[in-house]
Amino acid sequence: MKRVSMELGGKSAAVVLPGADLARAVKATVASCFLNSGQTCSATTRLIVSRDDYPTCRALLADAVAGMPMGDPGDASTRIGPLLSALQRERVLAHIADAEQDGFDRIAGGPDAPVPERGYFVAPTIYGNVAPDSRLANEEVFGPVLAVLCYETVEDAIALANGTRYGLAASVWAADESCGEAVANALRAGQVDVNGARFNAAAPFGGFGMSGVGREGGAYGLEEFLEPRAIQFPR
């Protein structure tokens, strides 16, 4: 039999707890979501904020996207490049069309946003007040689209973060690091950063559910290639 180690897709969530640095959380989430035009397996494509913080969050998101020019990836000033293919662009636009039909709060982008004429571009797009059971909240878009979900209690936030079939990565933003750690421990994701901690290449990387099987990185990545044996003696 062949052994397999698979790193698959994700629908990673950023959970912003009450009292956390919202501006910093929004900046980091936008950077993660739109990196490589959203074509990243661990991209943070769901932002989970308290209902009370949503108006402020909305304004911060709109400002952040306004400063992300589209264009030639070879130009140092470009923040959003094209998608891989025409087919992928159509897939992403189909997700956007569904979000429009669902009537979510469009914060930025959308189907009619201007894009460069040459290249498979989709404008960076953000929808707020996204329903937890919607396609946009549950399926991997693999494009520059961010879904914002609102919660009433921290328990609700954890349930929303764990509410998809994926579990690759996540992030938690908290005013108190111990509270952030407690929520991180409750998330069903293979790698969780707290308050913007950097990616650790020596730590295990991999996911739960439909995000894959096995781990990469550090000692855990090496163990994927090993066959443990047990030898017992009568003493």
Rounded average pLDDT over 42-50: 98
Which helix (H) or strand (E) element contains residue 217?
Answer: none
Task: Indicate if 7 belongs to the active site.
Answer: yes
Q: How far apart are CA 195 and CA 147, in angstroms?
A: 20
Q: Is residue 33 part of a domain?
A: yes
Residue 143 lies in a domain: yes
Question: For 54-83, how does the pLDDT look when each residue is reduced to its tens digit (9 = 90+)?
Answer: 999 999 999 999 989 999 999 999 999 999
Q: Is the pLDDT of residue 156 over 90?
A: yes
DSSP 223: H
| 233 occurs within a structural domain | no
Mean pLDDT of 40-51: 97
Instruction: Indicate the angle between helix axes 177-186 and 154-161, nearest 10 degrees.
Output: 40
Nearest in space to 192 (alpha carbons), one of 5, 12, 38: 12
* Span 170-195, average pLDDT: 97
Using 50, 70 and 90 to split pLDDT, how confident is the model at 41? very high
pLDDT value of residue 10: 97
pLDDT band for position 201 (cuts 50, 70, 90)? confident
pLDDT of residue 139: 98
With bands split at pLDDT 50, 70 and 90, how would you rate the model's confidence at 9?
very high
What confidence score (pLDDT) does residue 32 get? 97
**Band (218; pLDDT cuts 50, 70, 90):** confident
Q: How many CB atoms lie within 10 A of CB 126?
A: 28
Active site residue 57: no
In a domain, 210, yes or no: no
Read off the CATH number of the domain in which 54 is found. 3.40.309.10
Percent of the chain with pLDDT over 70: 100
Query: Which residue among 41, 57, 140, 150 is the active-site one?
Result: 41
Domain count, the chain: 1
Structure confidence at residue 2 as a pLDDT band (50, 70, 90): confident
Q: Residue 3: is its pLDDT beyond 90?
A: no
Per the prediction, the chain carries an average pLDDT of: 96
Over the stretch 219-229, which tens digit does the pLDDT of each residue have? 999 998 999 99
Q: Taking the alpha carbons of 228, 231, 232, 235 in that order, is the dihedral positive or negative?
A: negative
Query: What pLDDT, on a 0 to 100 scale, did the predictor assign at position 155?
Result: 98
Domain extent at residue 38: 7-200
Whether 137 shows a pLDDT value over 90: the answer reads: yes
Q: Which of 84, 89, 141 lies closest to 115, judged by CA? A: 89
Answer yes or no: is pLDDT of 4 > 90: no
**Is 232 inside any structural domain?**
no
